[in-house]
Amino acid sequence: MNGEDAPELKRAAVAAAPSSPIPNHRLGMMIFLVAEAMLFTGLLGAALVLGAGAPMWPPPGQPVLPIWAGAVNLLLLSGGSFGMIRAMRGVRLASHRRLVSGIGLTLACGAGFLVVMGVEWARMIREGLRTTTTGSYGPLFYTLTGCHALHVLAVMIWVGVLLALALQDRFSPAHHEPVEMAGMFWHFVAVAWVFLFVVLYLI
């Protein structure tokens, strides 16, 4: 074997090497989301334990959370997931219009979620739900919904950066990893709200 054959053999070895079953960016995002799931599992577990141990939940004299508000927020987060799915399909098909419109829909739904949550917090505060004078019910509500709202805000900032990059035509079918990762994060946030909705509003 002479020296001229070495580059061809090296390229052949690289081509024959098995590819990773899960892309690195997707695997990293999955590990991050597992850690986030553990956080929400702990918070939801605490809420379930405290609620099961109380004679009445919510405690007497405390405002009852409006189911309509939780349901509206569930619809908004679902709409944001639809937007991210549309954006992902758009970038894979090299459709700039689908990409931008999908990201825009997700941002609008996220903003709507935060507005509804802000209105709900203001109403609960007016009705006397506090973090220091209402036992564990008030702190649990504000901790769970506040933690989730911070996640929504974080993914909205991420998606907002994606929108700025998309308007500069920075994504393509060969380069769409940031869009996919943001979509995974948004879907996680939407699924997390399903569990919060059941525990806080329905049980």
- CA dist 133 and 62 (Å) reads 11
Model pTM score: 0.85
Residues 200 and 98: beta-carbon distance below 8 Å: no
Residues 134 and 62: beta-carbon distance below 8 Å: yes
CB 201: neighbour CB atoms within 10 A?
17
pLDDT band at 120 (very low <50, low <70, confident <90, very high): very high
How many residues does the structure list for the chain? 203
Radius of gyration for the alpha carbons in the chain, expressed in angstroms and rounded: 22
- The predicted model gives 136-149 an average pLDDT of 90
Question: 22-31, 48-57, 120-129, 163-172: which has the highest mean pLDDT?
Answer: 163-172
CB 164: neighbour CB atoms within 10 A?
10
